[in-house]
Amino acid sequence: MALLLGVDTGGTYTDAVLIKDEAHVIASAKALTTRSDLALGIGEAVRAVLAQADVQPSEIAMASLSTTLATNALVEGQGGRVGLVYIGFNARDLETHGLADALRGDPVLVLSGGHCHAGVEVAPLDLPALQAWLNEVSGVSGFAVAAQFATRNPDHENRAAALISRITGRPVSCSHHLSARLNGPKRALTAVLNARLIGMTYRLIGRAEDVLAEIGIDAPLMVVRGDGALMSAVQAQARPIETILSGPAASIVGARWLTGADEAMVSDIGGTTTDIAVLRQGRPAIDPNGARVGPYRTMVEAVAMRTFGLGGDSEVHFVSDGLEGGVTLGPRRLLPVSLIAMDDPDTVHDALDAQLRSAVPSEHDGRFVRAIPDIESGGLGERDLALLDRIGRAVHPIGSILKTRLEGQALQRLVARGLVQIAGVTPSDASHVLGGLESWDRKAAEKALRLFGCRRTGAGEILARDAVEMAHMIVKRLTHQTTVALLETAFTEEHKNFGLPPADLANHVLTQRGLSGHRGLVALHAGLAVKVIGLGASASSYYPAVGARLNTSMILPEHADVANAIGAVVGMVTFRKSGTVTAPTEGKYRVHLESGPEDFGDSEAAMARLEDILRSEAEEQARSAGAADIRTTCSRDIRRAEIEARDLFIEAVLTVETSGRPRVATGET
């Protein structure tokens, strides 16, 4: 009997499941995700699932982790401070693909160097300038290096990375290690995001291994990649960017395993995001353009999935436009008031009571702040540091912490760095008021929703008469935004020209009237033509109304609340390696390798050499991840052109894929 442990760390809950013989879920458990030390929540969930199944830790053959940590960090703009070394590009190239926005003012060095498309050096690498810059930079947790045409010749990236490592000792992300494709600014963006995530991912995986060892689980730890495949913990620590959409990808694998569905949409609601993908012939598609998370389009291979900043813990915003007013949700995640009241009930209730008694409402009513301990705070300005010190380790009403408007900006910077958390009204609070959830402090949720409902609309009326009316308004809005997200995804997948962008189509008045079955002189009907699989801890609370609104069947499978953890252990170890053969001159075929270009006089010999290298690298990665019974395939995309009646070789892109189940899961030794 093989016992496999799956763990998923979400924004709100950490889930654990035990699967026997890769066929049966024998136990599942949840614990609150502990942002200050994610391993605490992991340990609590794992201990609970072992106790529930009456299983000894030594019986676990494999543990696997899926996590929304990287996804949520990018959606919420969090992560460590990084330095970018940008080789062979112009400073204006920083504006391409949102690279400057992703840097958020972090230090950048535009350095001379780089290669041409054929892999030939166009300018020498200025290492003395790099060394001088490194001696000045401080408060940086990691570095990203991107050089012009590094996928054709990575020499300058490798030499720069070696110098950075020697001088700073900090981790370095080279762009050519993360993607074999061209487009330097986009590769640089991917490297920057990888560098930003390394610190937090390294801590998470390291602490996860520590807590499993403390419990007595002596089994290899796997991590889910963004394409749903498994990789080793060591590989994930080096390339955390590949774990973006890890949790959502695991949910798709879990949804397929739970339902056996071949054609369906999968919608997974977590605390921070709603992640939507489409199953076709039982498989999720890989996004050919690279994973998109929040505002960023990366070059990471991942499940073709749309991620929306909409979850059970999404921030509720007051909309004052028009006479009636209303609310909208997200994209930022807040701690629910009902949850933070569990940590410090006296502070929270005293503040809420005082705010309810006040004749003059404040913009900060019902909102609280607390610091996340033990997070590196290097690079903060004087004002930000002073505010962080004032917050300390306690829970505070925000109104008592902020003294000036400028400190409000400082608070947002601390949130962006992941140093503090804000608590406020969320759909989870609304669910506590309505009785759908009972885990946390319902009284605190009621008070916070009463405060929120006291806001005045454009007509001068209060937004809601009581907490229940306010809660219904929030849940109705969540239903609407989820419906729009599913429609937008469906329109995107249609690949047809409807004359409007998918988001506009989803929100169009005719679409919305069609969902309501408008009948007048014109009859309108709209909905989804496929079933929806609803996943997530709160899916059973929110999604029946979503299915009804979309005029389709909503499947809520057993164990839907832990589908991510299930997907974490039933996936395959899969690695893909790509490389390029070019023809710089007629009769010369150049293979672009990590060690530099190699030339051949025959195209087939060049492609055979590249395939051997890619096959060796991919199989070694699969073996390092613990795969058994490895299967390898190779595809060739060869571009030719007919010039003056001659068939000329232009370029070939080879992709090798290796896959296999983890050795311990199959029982092999």
Enter the pTM of the model. Answer: 0.74
577 pLDDT higher than 80: yes
% of the chain residues with pLDDT over 70 = 98
pLDDT category of residue 424 using cuts at 50, 70 and 90: very high
How high does pLDDT run on average in the chain? 90
Least confident range from 90-104, 421-435, 457-471, 570-584: namely 90-104
66 pLDDT higher than 50: yes
The contacts of residue 481 (CB under 8 Å, 6+ apart) are: 308, 310, 328, 329, 330
Mean pLDDT of 474-487: 97
pLDDT at 1: 56
Mean pLDDT of 508-523: 95
pLDDT at 153: 94
Q: Which residue has the higher pLDDT, 572 or 296?
A: 572
Q: What is the pLDDT of residues 122-178, one digit of tens each?
A: 999 999 999 999 999 988 889 999 999 999 999 999 999 999 999 999 989 999 988
pLDDT at 307: 81
Longest CA–CA span in the chain (Å) reads 87
pLDDT at 323: 66
pLDDT at 644: 74
210 pLDDT higher than 50: yes
pLDDT at 669: 47
Q: Which residue has the higher pLDDT, 517 or 325?
A: 517
Least confident range from 152-156, 269-273, 303-307, 503-507: namely 303-307
Q: What is the pLDDT of residues 29-40, one digit of tens each?
A: 999 888 777 889
pLDDT at 198: 83
Q: 211, 43 in Cβ contact below 8 A?
A: yes
Chain position carrying tokens 């690949």 = 495
pLDDT at 165: 93
447 pLDDT higher than 70: yes
Question: Residue 523 forms beta bridges with which residues?
Answer: 519
Q: Which residue has the higher pLDDT, 210 or 376?
A: 210
DSSP for 318-387? EE--TTT-EEEEEEEE-EEHHHHHHH-HHHHHHHHHHHHH-SS--TTTT-EEEE-TT---TT--HHHHHH
Q: What is the pLDDT of residues 597-644, one digit of tens each?
A: 999 999 999 999 999 999 999 999 999 888 888 999 999 999 998 877
Q: What angle do CA 622, 196, 160 make, to 5 degrees?
A: 80
pLDDT at 101: 83
Mean pLDDT of 112-127: 93
Three-class HEC string of 75-94 = HCCCCCCEEEEEECCCHHHH
% of the chain residues with pLDDT over 90 = 59
